[in-house]
């Protein structure tokens, strides 16, 4: 009998819940018109869009006027960094951690060429807060951009001191919350904040940018564009709002359940030989765990687990079907090859995890023996 597949690659993507699917259907039925026009159909679309913005703002604890949709988190990073940097043209540097997303690093390199100053993290992925405080208070800093939680190893940063250092230095702080909103409380001290609907159970194809009142920026893009050049899909926005509300209502229960499943994975995997479990075991996202396996490559592990019915992630996947070594793992001093990321979504059951943990050692042995390496026990 073919058992159903188990999707454990949920950071930034997951199957849609029935409520989110219903919201999409309603959004395409009632929100297909261009929200920028004058007629009834457009007013209806505009109402759905405004309501979606309000619902997301409400969960995030900000006002609706502060929330902007973008076509992706890439566009949010690009425009937020370029816009803030342009308003602070006398300053030419950006302070980031060593484990920021590629999309953020590339946006920073484009807006502030030769101006990136990277602050190290420790072996659990926590930012060197003293080094950050020193860097941000030096002259010539246009902005700082720090993630709330890491999408690969799950470590959650201690943002309070980071935010107060930036505020004391008068440097705008961008928080990348694209892996945390929907899983943790929204951070409250920032000037710009970026979130990712597909990470909280919404459909792919949308980003969210929040800006605190008083955050200065200047357009670094063609006239007529706001944060979303040409607008965004109203049904995607509506479904994203419904997904966040659903996630928020169930967050305590889901986080507890996911956290316990991840703890079970961490404890079991730690027993296997030649495996390092990465990231902070306590200050972490509830649903993510990554481990590095000696004597294997991540691509083979992902492929072999996929054949067994388990979807997991590894390193930085790219469209060509090959993997690049993870900059995040290199920054915490971990093995950059042979890593597996397990990211749970609310539909994953205890039984799914047990089956995964039963299959994993066999798969590891198989891959290792193909490469002539020691077995896992």
The footprint of its own copies (CB under 8 A) covers 5, 7, 9, 12-16, 21, 24-25, 28-29, 32-42, 46, 71-75, 78, 102-103, 106-107, 109-110, 198, 203-205, 207, 221-225, 228-236, 299, 302-303, 306, 311-314, 317-319, 321, 323
With contact defined as beta carbons under 8 Å apart, do 153 and 328 qualify?
yes
Nearer to its own copies, 29 or 282 (CB): 29
**In the complex, what is the shortest distance from the CB of residue 304 to its own copies, in angstroms, rounded to a whole number?**
11
The dihedral through the CA atoms of 245, 251, 254, 255 has a sign that is positive
Q: Which is nearer to its own copies, 134 or 311 (CB)?
A: 311
Q: What is the dihedral of CA 335, 97, 185, 269, to 10 degrees?
A: 10
Torsion sign across C-alpha atoms 111, 104, 155, 364: negative
CB of 65 to its own copies, least distance (A): 13
Cβ-proximal residues to 342 (8 Å cutoff; 6+ apart), any chain: 8, 262, 265, 288, 289, 290, 312, 313, 356
| Alpha helices (H) along 140-197 | 159-169
CB of 259 to its own copies, least distance (A): 24
Nearer to its own copies, 8 or 62 (CB): 8
Name the burial class of residue 115, with classes exposed (0-12), middle (13-18) and buried (19+) by CB atoms within 10 angstroms of its CB: middle
Q: How far is the CB of 222 from its own copies (least distance, A)?
A: 4
State which residue, 166 or 209, has the beta carbon closest to its own copies: 209
Question: d(Cα 207, Cα 68) in Å, to the nearest integer?
Answer: 8
Q: Which is nearer to its own copies, 69 or 291 (CB)?
A: 69
Min CB(185)–its own copies separation in Å: 25
C-alpha 274/C-alpha 329 separation (Å) is 16
CA distance 103 to 86: 19
Report how far Cα 198 is from the mean position of its chain's Cα atoms: 9
CB 144 to its own copies: min, Å: 18
Q: Which is nearer to its own copies, 312 or 367 (CB)?
A: 312
């Amino acid at each position: 009998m073919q058992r159903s597949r188990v999707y454990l690659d949920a950071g930034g993507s997951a199957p849609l819940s029935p409520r989110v699917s219903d919201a999409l259907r309603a959004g395409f039925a009632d929100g297909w018109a261009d929200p920028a026009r004058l007629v009834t159909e457009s007013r209806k679309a505009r109402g759905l869009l405004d309501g979606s913005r309000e619902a997301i703002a409400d969960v995030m604890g900000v006002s609706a006027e502060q929330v902007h949709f973008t076509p992706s988190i890439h566009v949010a990073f690009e425009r937020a960094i370029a816009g803030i940097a342009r308003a602070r043209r006398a300053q030419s540097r950006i302070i980031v951690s060593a484990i920021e997303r590629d999309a953020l690093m590339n946006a920073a390199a484009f807006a502030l060429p030769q101006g990136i100053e990277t602050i190290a993290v420790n072996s659990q992925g926590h930012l060197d807060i003293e080094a950050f405080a020193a860097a941000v208070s030096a002259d010539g800093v246009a902005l700082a951009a720090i993630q709330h939680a890491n999408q690969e190893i799950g470590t959650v940063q201690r943002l309070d001191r980071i935010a107060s250092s930036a505020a004391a230095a008068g440097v705008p702080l961008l928080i990348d919350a694209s892996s945390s909103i929907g899983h943790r409380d929204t951070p409250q001290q920032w000037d710009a904040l970026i979130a990712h609907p597909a990470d909280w159970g919404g459909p792919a194809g949308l980003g969210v940018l929040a800006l605190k009142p008083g955050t200065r920026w200047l357009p670094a893009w063609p006239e007529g564009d706001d944060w979303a050049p040409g607008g965004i899909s109203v049904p995607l926005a509506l479904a994203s709002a419904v997904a966040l509300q659903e996630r928020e209502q169930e967050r305590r229960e889901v986080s507890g359940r996911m956290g316990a499943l991840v703890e079970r994975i961490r404890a079991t995997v730690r027993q296997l030989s030649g495996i390092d479990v990465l990231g902070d075991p306590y200050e972490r996202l509830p649903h993510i765990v990554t481990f590095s396996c000696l004597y294997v490559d991540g691509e083979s592990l992902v492929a072999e687990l996929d054949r067994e019915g388990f979807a997991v992630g590894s390193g930085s996947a790219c469209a060509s079907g090959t993997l690049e070594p993870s900059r995040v793992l290199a920054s915490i001093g971990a093995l950059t090859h042979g890593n597996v990321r397990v990211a749970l979504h609310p539909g994953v059951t205890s039984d799914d995890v047990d089956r995964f943990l039963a299959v994993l050692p066999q798969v590891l042995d198989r891959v290792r023996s193909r490469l002539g390496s020691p077995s896992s026990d």
